[in-house]
Structure 1
């Protein structure tokens, strides 16, 4: 489906949802569920919990769809709901997060024990970085994920997180610094 057709259908589906059409909402879920699941998974770090958070996200989107304003990007509105649901989950569960040094040892052991260390390193560097994001503070993980893993611009991140542009940039800086430090210890990043 081309972008124009997608946007046209999306706007129709949203209007229909605001009128109580569950079938139109199902179309929206079909389009956005993979992206929202990938985003939430990066924040909560667990498949089963991510599924629960995504379900909660779409439930809230359905309940509050009448409050959505068509002049804003729908994806920003949906990411905001997913962010809030993820934060609620993280605060309620308070998951055990390994310290950066422990993660570094586990990940470097996996790399050293591989016969194809260099190929594995090249193919999985994004997975390593995603794993390392779990050592960041929740705000740092959130803005890092939105910027570098979801590809959103700072303006959109400020709308989703309700953080100022300065706070977004500060958290991004600290997140990158923390990840680079662990990667340096693992001898993956040399600068």
Structure 2
């Protein structure tokens, strides 16, 4: 598993894949705080939001994703622990942070591939701005998110603040690996991030 050199090092890292390739996970120092939110009261919320509730299922019909969630924690390395690498159809969320639909930035990580097969986020790069996806939640509600952009960043130049900073809006980041696979480092060279905001609730 690739780990950051320090808590301030850029970019998500998780273990996955073809040769232990990381999928995605933020350094501890950049992960938004858990609820209740630390959003300044002076900042007016611009969009809809939902009360806290754990996510149970991610559905992105356009790329064939229909996957359950598991909670992820910050590991001893200072990075978010990855979802289990032996399950190709599983996504993880930072369980001590924002839940999808809450005000703030919720983090959802998934593997790109495993040593033997593509994984849940293998087709994440096919998404475009304007596409939608939904997250079912433990309280029986569904959060529908509208994608604002889909971008790749080199792991040695990852925009921590842009991806992880707290916000008065209800945002989600879907994160996985991208770029070429560096067999020496046993890591992909980039992370793919889907930036999305809460569009509707149900």
Aligning the two structures, in what range does the TM-score lie when normalised by the shorter sequence? under 0.3
If the length of structure 1 is used for normalisation, what is the TM-score?
Answer: 0.25
- The structure with the larger Rg is 1
Q: Going by fraction, where is strand more abundant, 1 or 2?
A: 2
- Tell which has more relative contact order, 1 or 2 (C-alpha 8 A, sep 6+): 2
